[in-house]
Chain A
């Protein structure tokens, strides 16, 4: 997962590496996802999430569709 200046830079970066595009979002959406995804990481009683729980977090910030299916 990388940061890029713009769509133009994304296109150039993909072409330079011969990669097919994946999925893009703005940094605000990633910040929303990062916050909910990592919020409990340091909780003393942390337990691994189920795949369904992780999927629900992706869904909660609008990351839906086949690319975002965990399994």
Chain B
């Protein structure tokens, strides 16, 4: 991950906040005056460095953690948008990343019952009775980040 990759990563994250979605590699190439293949190579290096996550079958951003660009059970209302949180951790992380208040509408992994959590001024003010479970030990989180 070199300086250009960090610039590309910053462009991806700023685009996410501005537009609610990540730029395609072609859009990023246009923004930097690069050949699309160079932007795709940068996306792959960022993926390999765990700085973002690409879909398994294409060079397109799946996760710019804590933001996710595929459906999940975790809907987060924060910063004037509704986001998908990759997992429970990322769902609560969106208010942290955006430095704002927010609400998480999620569900119990067992029964599917709706669960509501709310963060104000960094504090969890609703949902304090909700339980969180991590199945995968920390050293194995990146073996299969989709499952983790």
Contact = CB atoms under 8 A, between A and B. Distances in A.
B92 A31 contact: yes
A44 to B, nearest CB: 6
A13 B13 CA distance: 34
A25 B134 CA distance: 9
A9 B110 contact: yes
Nearest to B10: A44
B92 A34 contact: yes
Given A3-B106, A70-B138, A41 B133 contact: no
Contacts of A71: 139
Interface in B123-146: 123-124, 127-139
A25 B139 contact: no
Interface residues of B, number: 52
B132 A69 contact: no
A58 B108 CA distance: 24
A42 B111 CA distance: 34
A36 B49 CA distance: 20
B122 A35 contact: yes
A37 to B, nearest CB: 6
Contacts of A66: 137
Interface of B: 1, 6, 9-10, 13-14, 17, 49-51, 65-66, 74, 87-90, 92-99, 106-111, 113, 115, 117, 119, 122-124, 127-139, 148
Interface of A: 1-7, 9-10, 12-13, 16, 19, 21-31, 33-39, 41-42, 44, 46-48, 58, 66-71
Given A3-B117, A27-B127, A46-B9, 6 more contacts: A1-B135, A3-B74, A27-B117, A41-B66, A58-B138, A67-B137
